[in-house]
Structure 1
């Protein structure tokens, strides 16, 4: 029994890694931000209870910062935009993300916050005024969620689809315990989104 359970767990963990790795590979079809460009890195908030940032939002913040640092190292001017309202707690997700990015991840560049969104569809819609004249737009989250956000941008503003660039969202073994969950949910939502215009929050 224990052997079967261990084998099932191992299979699930491997499957989660494979699904996220494939999502990252699909994203590489997008062009990376060119040197000297202006880049908006949009980090998408996750439901957060209480005033302490949870592990999923910390994961997304790390993705945003390492993506921003990579672009900045190539001479890009980068702004991180934190998006997310008070979905499951009193503190907007955007504020939790922004504080963690500045204080714990030591990002000293520009940070903007969008505090009203309660769904991924709204995240994408509500950051559009903050993106401004950026030459590249990157969505920072796990790979499947970022893929959904890119598809939403293509629906909402097809004229901006050419600005999309990939995030540095996949690291082998990072958050391995939750990857199978996000893989299952992400694949389901990617399939479902083509039949529902404004789905509920993931």
Structure 2
């Protein structure tokens, strides 16, 4: 009985750790700047098939619900991601999903050349120059990495970063500890001052 109780407590602690870390990442390197216009940048994930895969569908939903969180006028949704192999670009697959499945009818732009997160940010910068606020939609740690990259490439634009609706309590709860471990490993390349926001 004690062993079961101990395992249950350990399991609850691991789930709580995953929740807390993802929440913390969603809050990092963002401000609370106002403004009439915003861009939501939705980052693509490897997608060799002809329709948006599970992760890209989740990222699109995150991007679309980020538009709705405060109802900013003039919101622009930018889907970013190039082709994997011979399939269509991730950006196009995500846009198709947003329009045909989610019924999104807002303003959409495609950035369809990127193969890495660094390139995602580099290639969307020209599309961000005229907006007041910038949201980056992905899993919380991946979005944090992208925000750090924007700070490196264009610190002036990084001052316009605000939080996307990328963290919700209980969403992906079972997978969050594993995602957190993986993302801690992938975030190890951030600079010392950027790493301060990780824990």
Shorter-chain TM-score tier: 0.7 to 0.9
Residue number in structure 2 paired with 1:65: 64
Normalising by structure 1, we get a TM-score of: 0.83
What is the DSSP-based 3-state SS (H/G/I as helix, E as strand, rest coil) of the residue aligned with 1:186? helix
Q: 3-state DSSP class of the match of 1:43?
A: strand
- 1:21 corresponds in structure 2 to 23
Shift of 1:121: 0.2
Question: Greater relative contact order: 1 or 2 (C-alpha under 8 angstroms, separation 6 or more)?
Answer: 2
Output the TM-score relative to the length of structure 2. Answer: 0.84
For 1:7-46, list aligned pairs within 5 A: 11-26=13-28, 30-31=31-32, 33-34=34-35, 37-46=36-45
Structure 1 residues 151 and 68, CA, compared in 2 at 3 Å: closer, same or farther?
Answer: same
Which contiguous aligned blocks of 4+ residues in structure 1 show a shift greater than 6 angstroms?
Answer: 4-8
Secondary structure at the aligned position of 2:145 is classed as helix
Deviations 1:119-168 (A, max 9, x none): 00000000112224111111001111111111100100112121111101
Q: What are the equivalent positions in structure 2 for 1:52-131 lying under 5 Å apart?
A: 52-71=51-70, 73=71, 75-87=72-84, 90-131=87-128
**1:88 positional shift:** 5.4
Number of matched pairs: 189
Larger Rg: 2
The separation in 2 between residues aligned to 1:9 and 1:100, in whole angstroms, is 35
CA distance in 2, matches of 1:155, 1:42: 17
Provide the rounded CA distance (Å) in 1 between the counterparts of 2:33 and 2:63: 15
Question: In the alignment, is the contact (CA less than 8 A) between 2:38 and 2:131 conserved in 1?
Answer: yes
1:7-64 CA-partner distances (Å, limit 9, x unpaired): 776554433222112223435x511544xx1101000001112112111111111110
Q: Does the alignment pair 1:174 with 2:135? A: no
